[in-house]
Amino acid sequence: MDIEALSLSGVMRLKPARHGDARGWFSETWSARSLESAGITTTFVQDNVSYSAAVGTVRGLHYQAPPSAQAKLVMVLTGAIRDAVVDVRVGSPTYGRWLAVDLTAEGGEQLLVPEGYLHGFVTTQPDTRVLYKVSAPYDPAADGAVRWDDPELGIDWGIDPAKAVVSAKDAAAPAFRDWTSPFGSDA
């Protein structure tokens, strides 16, 4: 597995090897033993799958507050997404900075998102299914969101915001400047 550290602390792109033949291919997408050797020791406790029919479907920017904070490992099963994360660890030298990574089913890339980051994605192909492993069970009391198209963050989603398909929850999320991060720099 190829592992690439990205510009925000702890955020990594993983590229599992694919072993192919005339039938197709096989890939080991998660192995605690293999990743421990690279310093990745996150324990995942739940798998989630989302399905989005339309291109331009936005999910995010979401988080689970401590003590129910979640690290995530995101991969695309069908279709493609632009996956975005924002560092919201108070005191972090990269607080408020974001990065976006394109993930595709065809490419098999994964994104490891540690605790202390807002997370969201937009679909760039129709009929997209996304699998994400999380390190803590969903807790409705810890659930939160920040406005996905916040101009202060300035995330390049690669779509026309006027054509985005957004849930009522995400459309009503607070602006970044009106939100208080629950994450310390030790997240």
- Which residues are marked as active site? 62, 132
Question: What is the amino acid identity at position 163?
Answer: K
